[in-house]
Structure 1
């Protein structure tokens, strides 16, 4: 189905390419005119273009002149002239598409044209990269082009202060990672003052490596969390010990393909005996089920030195796509704590979610988004359905000369790696550079040991030395070099034959103490000489590498995703260079093992293939393609599901954040608080008046509740006296009397504090209550989502149920916000002092109301990784090892499934709670049911 949709999406591609080619011709026609401009005249083009835009011309009209200006500025500052295909790529970005350009086609330079054109609007352009290193490197290098045109650039990096970040966002073009942009959005919606906000809107975004950011990382949301109370962590250790006593296939079953486990009846009985409880599945014990599942998953699904390593008493995740150790990242949903307990290291505390957004919904905030990648074709349908982004394949500047050899399949891994080493030795001896891709740290180190035995000098790029990754990858195309890398390590850095001249030149400039930011004039003066010298050296070496056959890319295993395989292959054959690629596989590789390579095994068995002999078989190739399609389909379904559920929360988030923004921007809250007062009194009357008249009502209970909200000035006798007798009191009369009394009390409160102080108190109270209730709501929604899948057993659509109950919970939260706000405004013990300056707003302090300037020093920032883990940093941007899993409320009041009327109540809960609800079935009944079956 997906392939049919992809074909449909590509029907109009020829028309788009013709339009892009016409743009390139128009830009080329202007090249000579722009080459004759002085530097000052070139810089003044920006002023002219902005004036034309203000006068009503569209960006499409200005595109040829803007692109021609960027090309000329780049030629003068960097010595790099945009090829026609790069201009076409830039135009595709401006039109809101994904430009699919092969590796080495200069995507970083492509982004400059679209970024400059859209920055003419003065609304800010965001260029999103995959890591801080690339954001910093690209903003410095490309910033030289923009400065030559009179535009400013900024770079958002972890650890920057709010004033620094605000300054970066004020720049015309701002570089940064998706995590940093997303967290700034969330932080802005937690701000107490409009002046604390740093972003200035979401106009246009260019996403580099768009498939990595919008596809690979879209399964895990960005989360800001803070410390949560509770002693749940001791249960991780308890269940880690228990899980080791459970026997696979007897007490529990494992599905490695789906990464799930299921506890069987004997296992449940063992757990109940160990914990001394009667029924694991009664409502009082609900929290224990997730501890049990996580403990079993930690033992059965997460392997040491493959999925994670233990270093210095900490569990560190290994990225499945790049093989790097993900410092500071943690698995979510309590899995990381379960692994810590399994390995006997300190279990870090869970945190509570304070704000969260998925990457899909963050990027939907932009008026226009675009992206670049070398491998988007396989996900074209998903880009269109989720982000309304078309994929345009841009032709290569020079014809592709890389030879992609067919896969070689061996019976086992040992035979495969022996042949890999032999192949590398042969290539190395003739001077051909080799880049080897492995799927894990373990396998890269195993291959490294085999190469060392053969005396082959090589670089290993994996989790344990990634600090040098860009430098190593940049030099992987040098004569005779051998680089063993875990999959896509160093992505974003070009492998150029003979070495990356630009990278070497920048390193030389830095060694001389020159910086394009700190010393821009000296940098520009020295650049040409340094770059020319480096280019000459690199060119000479590149000729020798070409003679040896170009870069040879060798994959030691197929990845779950075809796209990752294509990315590895794409390292070779850039800009028309010769190159070669090949994958070596074995029947024991994870992909083959998980997705049934029985057909291939029987084929090799029938033919009596020796251990060290490879086969090239269409049967195996089909099996691999089928396995990869299954994984890609499963992952796409997960992303679609994440988005469906987050869309429910997103509508609520937009309502709350929109409300907060209006408050911060100066909305008069007096009218709103008066409306809150009316609503809250109506709710009290709804509870206590109901049908009939005053003769039927409990006035004492009504007055008790009213006194918790405001200082009631009326007595019951006064109300009855005013009406004549209780029988003549109806709801409208009651509402009028109480509301009048409440508004008079509010007026007295305002007179005692002063109007300016009352306005500030209203603002502070409303913000504080909204924030606290929103945090609790996120908690509740998270908990609801965890269990909603069970509704399918009752023939109900879980998503529809989630929407219905989520809406009811949101309405309930809004009622709580109104009630709490009214109670705080009347009952807080407030101190008012005058702020500095004659016209400064008063400073309002109240017990129970957090100071507006209080720094959130204990917040954690959780972001997605390719492996499903999460990167965690503190407020200062430092990587921390504190827990980042979203805390789960101890569900002491969780509703149990409906049960038979005579089911016995639980004897005790795992946390010692009183539980009045009936257990669904007790242990003896469950066993009897099993026998009856």
Structure 2
């Protein structure tokens, strides 16, 4: 009965059926007609005219557009969109999150929504998690777009400003999430239109976020920050790194067991926080010869010491970070296993880790611009996302982004076999069992992919496999350069691959290996031609189709030889034969060496097997020494193992244990969601302020001279009103007005009013006094205009406004950082920290705006130009 009810209320299935009826079937009906279209660019341009000039919506032209895009794919890259890919393309166009299994061709799906939305002429962005995927996507799908007459750009980090502008000016731009966010922040620090990267008009129109859960959930805990050097002594970090070694780590108080915490400090691994005990505080005060560690003048010391303890206890080398050959501390993304050069922990933590490792400490930075991924992507007119795992996080997508998840059916049924977890008492017992299973699979010729959560684990397993005589490859943050080639060949028979966190790897694993990538790489290295040059693409497509004209097609490539063509054919034939062998022995086998704190990461690892109806299997190995189990799992399971007398060679394979693991993961996911939500709540306060500042700044930067003059005059008028409110309050008697104070404040900003009769204001009503003063200031502004010329004054005003806004905003961000770090202490006074933060932040912003108006007025009236002869 429940199955019947679930079917009745299954909105996902209902939506899919509706899309099939209204989109897929009409597109399929046009397929034969589109095959007869000779000029695809002209046909697609006609649709653009209907949208931009004819007033039709994208939904009005979606059927012929999708049909043309599918035909362009068939002609250019030999890939025809499956019906399920049309469903995914429609979901992306409508701003939804499309969940599609690994191997279902998300890269091709995105072309449908991107090409369709490009018809508006406002630019579309495909956002990826790394440079490799952005480059490959732009290259491979670029052939399809150009077949439709569209332009494609790649906005990579190394481009010069003019090149970046050209990339974003294209119809479709491929870019990484971090580079896109930083380009937005840098644009809002630009001093001229020429310095902008994104489009001046409609900079954020439509985006598709690839691996959307990785970017908008996992990475959303860390905001994007552009920093500049701040003046702060770094040598102290070395001092405190040594000092904390004289402190003793203790155990926290436990109700019913220990009344008080022991040692000098305790740590909370779940929240990654440090708590100093009274004995620790007294010891630090004695060692530093200071009376009160937490007095206002010593707050920096207290903060740096806390960060030193956190760096020592909670951040581990080879797991959280690596130290490269140049002595730089490089963060490792905990979700993808990728190194993140250029990213630094905030609030002095990165410097504390550098001191702990004894490497050079980089100067601490001051925030110049910042935004969270959540608030950044909400700036788009429309955005959507795609990933293999999103349904478990649908509530967060709805709450924060207003996007629901549509699960797209697979093109072929998934036949992968997922086994129950095997749980061991210790890590060693678990690793030994993993090695035995790898040996067993390896003996049959099956390829094996082993997923680990850290570099340390991958290297431990590598040593064990080497000792067991099993040849294998290792992929982690230390070997990212070989990432694509290692993963592309992970489906070959007898291949064993160890990979740290498979999330977001983005390279398809094909059973038998990927001959196309090997041949493409060989052509690039020997002939200097990219994989997606049209002639090379035509040759590789002909190779996969066993085209009888393969030699003639291959010889169109400059420098190609018949000998190379023969070798390529042999390699392709061997790959096809190996594909059959691997299928017969059971396909790719996935081994997870521990459960990740997010179920999505586990599902992504599993999803590497069983693509497009291939056979495959998966199993996770867990121990009670794993972080997830140690911190969150039910201790009754361990007690049960003790009672049963189970040793390290006997695993548990039971749904009860799997249930405990999933509950632990759910608790961690809830905690992480709370962390992200709190980050967003705090950033929402700043977001309103940022929107106000950036909107005014953009109007000054891009607006006509009249708008700049209007803004300047408005600020000057507000400045005058502020002085009147302070020195000539309406509610006070005219005899008590502080005319001398008003005169000093006005002349300090507008020295041209030296001859104004301030004392005469006393005989006027408040309204007349205001009009008289405003009129006199306006006359001074006109005189300044005559002195400099209107054009020069507007140029001066534009420069002054941008420089002054930037300086005050930078100082405001620093103040907000300080406020955020200390606001939690308000909780001890029975006050809600978030309410206090909003109140204080609003006051700080209003004060910043007032000071901004004062400085703009002073600069406009006082700035002098030197004369050169």
TM-score, with normalisation over the residues of structure 2? 0.90
Residue 516 of structure 1: CA displacement? 6.1
1:435–1:476 CA contact under 8 A, matched in 2 = yes
Q: Which residue of 2 aligns with 1:915?
A: none
Which residue in 2 is equivalent to 1:617? 654
Query: Counterpart in 2 of 1:210?
Result: 212
Residue 651 (1) aligns with residue 688 (2): yes
* Higher relative contact order (Cα pairs below 8 Å, separated by 6+ residues): 1
Matched, 1:443 2:441: no
Spell out, residue by residue over 1:377-416, the C-alpha distance to the aligned partner (whole angstroms, 9 max, x if none). Answer: 1101111111111111111111111000111111211111
Q: Map residues 835-874 of structure 1 onto 2, 5 A cutoff.
A: none
CA distance in 2, matches of 1:485, 1:627: 24
Instruction: Give the equivalent residue in structure 1 for 2:564.
Output: none
Q: Distance in 2 between matches of 1:623 and 1:140?
A: 45
Which residue number corresponds to residue 875 of structure 1?
none
Q: 1:43 aligns with which of 28, 38, 41?
A: 41
What is the CA deviation profile of residues 581-616 of structure 1, one whole-angstrom value per residue up to 9, with x for unaligned ones? Answer: 001111111111111442121111111113212221
Q: Does the 8 A contact of 2:129 with 2:504 survive in 1?
A: no
Contact persistence 1:599–1:619 (CA under 8 A): no
- 2:461 and 2:64 map into 1 onto residues whose CA distance is 53
Partner-residue secondary structure (3-state), 1:506: helix
Return the alpha-carbon distance in structure 1 between the equivalents of residues 120 and 710 of structure 2.
37
**Distance across 1 between alignment mates of 2:615 and 2:70:** 28
What is the rounded CA distance, in whole Å, between the counterparts of 1:99 and 1:611 in structure 2? Answer: 43
Measured against aligned partners, the alpha-carbon deviations of 1:743-802 in whole angstroms (never above 9, x if no partner) come to: 343333322222211111111111111111111111112222222222333333322222
Q: Counterpart of 2:420 in 1: which secondary structure?
A: coil
**How far apart are residue 12 of structure 1 and its match?**
2.4
Which residue of 258, 269, 274 corresponds with 1:256?
269
- SS of match in other structure, 1:557: coil
Identify the match of residue 801 of structure 2 among 748, 766, 790: 766
Alignment of 1:384-463 (within 5 A): 384-463=398-477
Unmatched 5+ residue regions in structure 1?
1-6, 835-933
The separation in 1 between residues aligned to 2:37 and 2:385, in whole angstroms, is 32
CA contact (8 A) 1:130 1:178 kept: yes
Unaligned runs of 5+ in 2: 1-5, 251-262, 546-568
Residues 769, 499 of structure 1: CA spacing in aligned structure 2 closer, same or farther, 3 A cutoff? same
Q: Give the SS at the match of 2:510.
A: coil
Q: SS state of the match for residue 416, structure 2?
A: strand
Q: Distance in 1 between matches of 2:503 and 2:484?
A: 8
Q: Distance in 2 between matches of 1:181 and 1:598?
A: 45
Please name the residue that 2:102 is paired with: 103
Deviations 1:673-712 (A, max 9, x none): 3332232233223333346556435544443333321215
1:711 to 744, 748, 751: 751
Which residue of 202, 223, 229 corresponds with 1:227? 229
Q: Does the aligned pair in 2 maintain the 1:711–1:745 contact within 8 Å?
A: no
User: Partners in 2 of 1:749 and 1:506 — Cα distance?
Assistant: 66
Q: Is 2:424–2:649's contact at 8 Å kept on the other side of the alignment?
A: yes
- Output one character per residue of 1:352-387: Cα deviation in whole Å (capped at 9) or x when no partner: 111111111111111111111110011011111111
**Residues of 2 paired with 1:833 and 1:12: CA distance?**
74
Contact 1:308–1:318 under 8 Å retained in 2? yes
* Alpha-carbon shift at residue 342 of structure 1 (Å): 1.8
Q: Secondary structure at the match of 2:841?
A: helix
Contact kept, 8 Å, 1:124 with 1:170, in 2: the verdict is yes
Change in CA separation of 1:645 and 1:823 when aligned onto 2, cut-off 3 Å: same
Q: Is the 8 A contact 2:102 2:607 kept in 1?
A: yes
| Residues 475, 496 of structure 1: 8 Å contact kept | yes
Is residue 2:580 matched to residue 1:579? no
Indicate conservation of the 8 Å contact 1:124/1:203, yes or no: yes
Q: What SS class does the counterpart of residue 326 from structure 1 fall into? A: coil
2:748 maps to 1:748: no
Structure 1 residues 712 and 490: alpha-carbon distance in aligned structure 2, compared to 1, 3 A threshold: closer
Aligned to 1:789: 824
Task: Identify the residue that residue 149 of structure 1 maps to in structure 2.
Answer: 148
Alignment partner of 1:776 out of 797, 806, 811: 811
1:236 Cα shift? 1.9
Which deviations, in whole Å up to 9, do the C-alpha atoms of 1:187-220 show, x marking residues without a partner? 2111222233232222211111111011101111
Provide closer, same or farther for how the CA distance between residues 524 and 460 of structure 1 changes in structure 2, counting only shifts above 3 A.
closer
User: Which structure dedicates a bigger proportion of its chain to helix?
Assistant: 2
Deviations 1:13-49 (A, max 9, x none): 22211122122111111111222333xx223221221
Q: Which segment is superposed worse, 589-598 or 248-257?
A: 589-598
What's the CA shift for 1:244?
1.2
CA RMSD of the aligned region, Å? 2.3
For the residue of structure 2 that corresponds to 1:272, the secondary structure is helix
User: What SS does structure 2 have at the residue aligned with 1:191?
Assistant: coil
Partner Cα separation in structure 1 for residue 20 and residue 316 of structure 2: 51
Corresponding position: 1:676 with 2:720? no
Q: Is the 8 A contact 1:243 1:292 kept in 2?
A: yes
Distance in 2 between residues matched to 1:83 and 1:504, nearest whole Å: 26
Between the aligned partners of 1:10 and 1:624, the Cα distance in structure 2 is 29
- Match of 1:218, SS? helix
Other-structure match for 1:467 = 481
- Residue 689 of structure 1 corresponds to 728
Question: Take 1:68 and 1:748, find their aligned partners in 2: how far apart are those partners?
Answer: 65
- 1:736, CA displacement in angstroms? 4.8
Kindly indicate whether residue 30 of structure 2 is the aligned counterpart of residue 30 of structure 1.
Answer: yes
Alpha-carbon distance, 1:719 to partner: 4.6
- Residue pair 2:232, 2:363 contacting (<8 A) in 1 also: no
What's the secondary structure of 1:247's corresponding residue?
coil
Q: CA deviation at 1:51?
A: 2.5
Count of residues in correspondence between the two structures: 819
In structure 2, the residue matched to 1:842 is none
Measured in 2, the distance between the counterparts of 1:584 and 1:786 equals: 40
For 1:343 and 1:516, how far apart are their aligned partners in 2? Answer: 41
Give yes or no for contact 1:228–1:352 (8 Å, CA) kept in 2: yes
Q: Distance in 2 between matches of 1:33 and 1:715?
A: 82
Distance in 2 (alpha carbons) for counterparts of 1:297 and 1:661:
41
What SS is found at the alignment partner of 2:380? coil
Partner SS, residue 17 of structure 1 = helix
**Number of the residue aligned with 1:853:** none
CA contact (8 A) 2:422 2:621 kept: yes
Quote the residue 1:819 is aligned against. Answer: 854
Matches within 5 A, 1:532-543: 532=545, 533=569, 536-543=573-580
What is the deviation of 1:651?
1.0
Does the 8 Å CA contact 1:432/1:548 hold for their aligned counterparts?
yes
Task: Measure, in 2, the Cα distance between the counterparts of 1:521 and 1:833.
Answer: 58
Question: CA shift at 1:10, angstroms?
Answer: 7.7
Q: Is the 8 A contact 2:520 2:536 kept in 1?
A: no
Aligned partners of 2:309, 2:8: CA distance in 1, in Å?
A: 44
